[in-house]
Structure 1
Amino acid sequence: MIDRFAFTAMTGAKHAMGQLATTTHNMANLQTPGFREMLSTFRAVPIDGASADSRTFVVDSTPGADWSHGSVTPTGNPLDLAIQDQGMFTVLRADGQEAYTRSGKFQLDSRGFLTTTTGQRVLNDQNGFVQIPEGSQNIQIQANGAVWVTLQGQLNETAIARLKLVNPAPQDLERQADGLFTASEALPASDEVQILQGSLESSNVNAAQAMVQMIAQNRLFDLNIRLVQMAEQNSKSAGTLMSLSRV
């Protein structure tokens, strides 16, 4: 019985630490543009085995993300983009899979390709890459994602690409370790998504709420550790009583 008590408390401590890690990850991305807060919860897991049908343990899990919008802040950088309302940008991961993000903090690499800050290239609506010709000036990105530039030696603006903007259902997306979201199959471009040039959407993590969660999760961890210590003390007391009974 004591072993079961200790195991239950130890399991509780382990998964309290798992929730704390999720909250810490959210806090670490407080300043990450477009970051979507990871949700965490406990779920019951039945125990298989003889005479265990009525018992369950709990484990921590991350059932999804908080899709509420972050605040939009003007930056003045023409390569900073913010999505208005619903939608996501499309980029290509190193493994060749399409991925989706709310972060519109883009830059140009040495060859003029539009990329994320971590190097993934941004896709256009033809599933190619968005490349700004060398010497281009006055980069304008319209609300529908169309990219216009003034080419070297020309006076008029020229359309060179259109960003691939998608509008997936949140339940169809899976968060990856690099912070990007993927779907089971490539999503079609959407004409409904609108963007704002020269602005960035901030993370939607609430710092005050996250701090409160961290305190509660730390206390839950401490409580379970005390229960483990109590189980150890009870075991020692039971051992002492058994020794006395044999005298």
Structure 2
Amino acid sequence: MLDRSAYISMTGAKQSMLQLATTTNNLANAQTPGFREMFAAFRAAPIEGQGASSRAFVVDTTPGTDFTPGPIQTTSNPLDVAIQTRDGFFAVRRPDGSVAYTKNGRFNIDEKGVLRLGDNVVLGQEDAINIPDSIKQISISDDGYISSQMIGVTTFDEAANTPFDEIDQLRLVKINPSTLIRSADGLFDVPGMLQPKADETIRVKQGAVELSNVNPTTAMVQMIEQNRMFDLNMRFIQSADQNAKSANSLMSLSRG
């Protein structure tokens, strides 16, 4: 009969692999603008039953997200926007119509002139932000107002002092990060039916993006530790198996 410690070690090995997957995902997104590092931790799950009070399985859990601001990188791309407020977020609409929130401000304009973040529509004061085809340069003020620049401006620096016409304003919302739920697509959702309203106090910077807050060196060290934890649990399983075989052998000899 296999010792019960083998089953406990088995859960440890399994959960170590799940924790390793979280760290791997963090490392893979170390260069993704606006990405927020996921926490990974173990928690004990006591075993219920007679004679099992001293035993506990281990379960991997992701208790939350690290919302520490990432470094802001200047790109000089007028469609790149960085939020300079810790609890400020861009609002976007997914293809299914749901509204989500993100720190990623690496926008682009599609063939229809709609401002997008990948497959998601960037939201303005009312709905989608449309940039007319005739617009060659745009300016985004620190409070998120998008304005058209006079045709003929050739550089990003020249656009700063050129007369403009207002197009729309980015929907910038202030949210308590602890209330956010991360979705599979990397965007954040606000639980409940009420969605946060735009906040005029949030400030942005055009021509820059906020990078991921993942530290690649720390993530690599975590991966090494988690791999060692997996190996340690596998050794416990092997030891339990050997002990079970030795016990069975002794029992066979005693019967003889």
Q: Which category describes the TM-score, using the shorter chain as reference length?
A: over 0.9
1:237 aligns with 2:246: yes
Q: Which whole-Å deviations, capped at 9, do the CAs of 1:176-209 have from their partners, x for residues lacking one?
A: 1111000113221111110000001111101111
Amino acid at match of 2:12: G
3-state SS of paired residue (2:138): strand
- Going from structure 1 to structure 2, the CA distance change for 1:238 and 1:54 (only over 3 Å counts) comes to closer
- Equivalence for 1:202: 211
Q: Which whole-Å deviations, capped at 9, do the CAs of 1:124-150 have from their partners, x for residues lacking one?
A: 122x00110121122011111111014
2:13 and 2:229 in contact (8 A); partners too? yes
3-state SS of paired residue (1:105): coil
1:167 shift after superposition: 1.1
Amino acid at match of 1:245: S
3-state SS of paired residue (1:112): coil
- Equivalence for 1:89: 90
Pairing of 1:158-237 with structure 2 (within 5 A): 158-184=165-191, 185=193, 186-237=195-246
1:12 and 1:224 in contact (8 A); partners too? yes
- Equivalence for 2:22: 22
For 1:91 and 1:49, how far apart are their aligned partners in 2?
Answer: 49
Q: Which ranges of 4 or more aligned residues in structure 1 deviate by more than 4 Å?
A: none
Q: TM-score, normalised by structure 2?
A: 0.91
2:26 and 2:214 in contact (8 A); partners too? yes
For 2:178 and 2:165, how far apart are their aligned partners in 1?
Answer: 38
For 1:131 and 1:45, how far apart are their aligned partners in 2?
Answer: 52
- Equivalence for 2:101: 100
- Unmatched 5+ stretches in structure 1: none
Q: Which whole-Å deviations, capped at 9, do the CAs of 1:154-183 have from their partners, x for residues lacking one?
A: x95211111110111111100011110001
1:50 shift after superposition: 3.6
3-state SS of paired residue (1:110): coil
1:53 shift after superposition: 4.3
1:35 aligns with 2:35: yes
1:133 and 1:151 in contact (8 A); partners too? no
For 1:94 and 1:182, how far apart are their aligned partners in 2?
Answer: 15
Q: Which whole-Å deviations, capped at 9, do the CAs of 1:56-109 have from their partners, x for residues lacking one?
A: 322111111111111111101000000102211110112211111101000001
Q: TM-score, normalised by structure 1?
A: 0.94
Q: CA RMSD in A?
A: 1.7
- Equivalence for 1:110: 111
- Equivalence for 1:57: 57
1:135 aligns with 2:142: no
> Identity of paired residues, percent?
50
For 1:99 and 1:236, how far apart are their aligned partners in 2?
Answer: 55
1:75 and 1:200 in contact (8 A); partners too? yes
For 2:116 and 2:49, how far apart are their aligned partners in 1?
Answer: 53
Amino acid at match of 1:177: A
1:147 aligns with 2:146: yes
3-state SS of paired residue (2:128): coil
